[in-house]
Structure 1
């Protein structure tokens, strides 16, 4: 990615990444939510659906188009906030690392990986309660479905705010997002390669975003299954105490295949949703006069 000379940091430099991340979240949610719903439903039940197409058919037959958009509001708000925090943090971690460890020169692979992992851990503190509410909404199968406010209120009233409450999935989320090593490392490599063809920057960002997100989901998917399983099963409030316990439960009940349930809609969603998101993010940074690191 292009280098630039070091210059004093301004408030604009700090905040522009968060604004660009907001547009990324809007693009991601618009493209990816229906497939995310199918993914979560497959991850959290072993008997109700025979596969992705069966899940699509039964969801539409019983709940119509609205069934695919259950839980849409938390990620609409949450993904906008999460992408703003994630990509804003990524932008600023890159800037800080570049200024302090690279003398203002472009980051190499190690620098991009470090910034990406720190951004993943940072956004986990926003993502955990948002994803808990989203999963609870997505696994509603009746017609009298609750809304996001009532679900969040119920979780808080029954379980509080801590690691058995709204932050129930924090540990799982931190483990899952450690795989940003793959995402942002491969994004850097794909971007460098695609830039060598002198293609339009928007196309480069779109393709690099889609390919790198696909690499991320291939490596991180089993950890996402465990995260969804923890969040969907209330019994973890009592009889299970750790991410490892949930992993053992999945293996005991479903075998190794249990860690791949819902992979098809997830990988189908990964490319278009994240390609659109990264193109939007980088596009806003270019319009704002702030290049990639």
Structure 2
């Protein structure tokens, strides 16, 4: 008896890549990890540059209320009147250059790291929904953590310079040795003062931001993809909620970076929060929340608008190529 062989067709050598499913309005597209990292980097730089331009005056008021001893008992309007009276309008833009520089750099790093990480999780268990979360994927959480770590490395020294400028201090330290390399090392160490609270602040804030965005694009797509309202919901609302959760750590970060003494030493972020609550009350951990919320909503809403405009343009250009 002859057994007939059934011919098996071999797959075409140039089979198209299988694109993963996505939702309109996501912060990462359907490209591979490299493509999403590059697109996120460039679009994120626009996001990061737009944010301080739109909200720096609010940030100056917030920083003075949190970190400058002479303003710790003042209301936001007291600080506004003081700055305008003593320095004029330009006083609200002190520290803008490092904020603008840092914003564009770590905006690109954050969204590039998120896009690349999110895409790299394709085909792994992280691409699947986490049980009991309503469809939240592990890739979103992983992207948030990688973004927070990336942002902290870039942001810490630039934020210290900005805060020192906003509070009328120099960020440079006095030479403590006759050796140039020793002094350079001490200066770098000073610039990275506050790295711990910066990382934890970024993790809480960015994690919340990315997770809420993921839920929004899946559950209320008509709202988040509206031409004008959408970016302010995704950028303004989601980022502001993230800031609210991370605000006590932001207060600690501002104080640590504004301090030029060794008062804070090697104390952990949790210990510093406890000390502030014990000595000054719980309300102090939300110092500057008013101008901070205004700054977050305005700057992140405007930045998200610019991000999506450029992101969609680049995704279309990549697809056509």
Q: Does the pair score TM above 0.5? A: yes
Is the Cα–Cα contact under 8 Å of residues 49 and 104 in structure 2 kept in the other structure? Answer: yes
- Selected match of 1:19 from 18, 27, 42: 42
CA shift at 1:234, angstroms? Answer: 1.4
TM-score by length of 2: 0.77
Q: CA deviation at 1:250?
A: 2.6
Structure 2, gaps ≥5 residues long: 1-21, 130-134, 176-182
RCO (CA 8 Å, sep 6+): is it higher in 1 or 2? Answer: 1
Q: Is the counterpart of residue 35 in structure 1 residue 58 in structure 2?
A: yes
State the match for 1:174 in structure 2.
199
Q: Shift of residue 45 of structure 1?
A: 3.2
SS at match of 1:234: coil
- Encode CA deviations 1:123-167: one digit per residue, 9 max, x unaligned: 110011111111100101xxxx86xxxx357697593323xx111
Does 2:245 align with 1:219? Answer: yes
In the TM superposition, 1:159-198 aligns within 5 A as 159-162=186-189, 165-179=190-204, 180-196=206-222
1:90 is displaced (CA, Å) by 1.0
Match of 1:275 among 301, 308, 311: 301
How far, CA to CA, are the matches of 1:118 and 1:224 in structure 2?
19
Q: Distance in 2 between matches of 1:11 and 1:117?
A: 18
CA contact (8 A) 1:251 1:258 kept: yes
Equivalent pair of 1:32/1:273 in contact (CA under 8 Å): yes
What is the rounded CA distance, in whole Å, between the counterparts of 1:125 and 1:198 in structure 2? 31
8 Å CA contact 2:209, 2:239 repeated in 1: yes
Gaps of 5+ in 1: none
Question: Do the aligned partners of 1:230 and 1:246 also contact (CA within 8 Å) in 2?
Answer: no
Question: What does residue range 120-135 of structure 1 map to in structure 2 within 5 Å?
Answer: 120-135=148-163
Q: Secondary structure at the match of 1:173?
A: helix
Residue correspondences, number: 278
CA RMSD, aligned part only? 3.0
Q: Secondary structure at the match of 2:265?
A: coil
Structure-1 separation of matches of 2:107 and 2:126: 26
> Per-residue displacement from partner, 1:11-47 (whole Å, max 9, x unpaired)?
5443111100111012101101110010000001354
Number of the residue aligned with 1:72: 96
Change (3 A) 1:13 1:64: same
* Map 1:98-137 → 2, pairs under 5 A: 98-101=122-125, 108-137=136-165
Deviation at 1:103, TM superposition (A): 6.5
Higher helix share: 1
Per the TM alignment, residue 206 of structure 1 is displaced from its structure 2 partner at its CA by 3.0
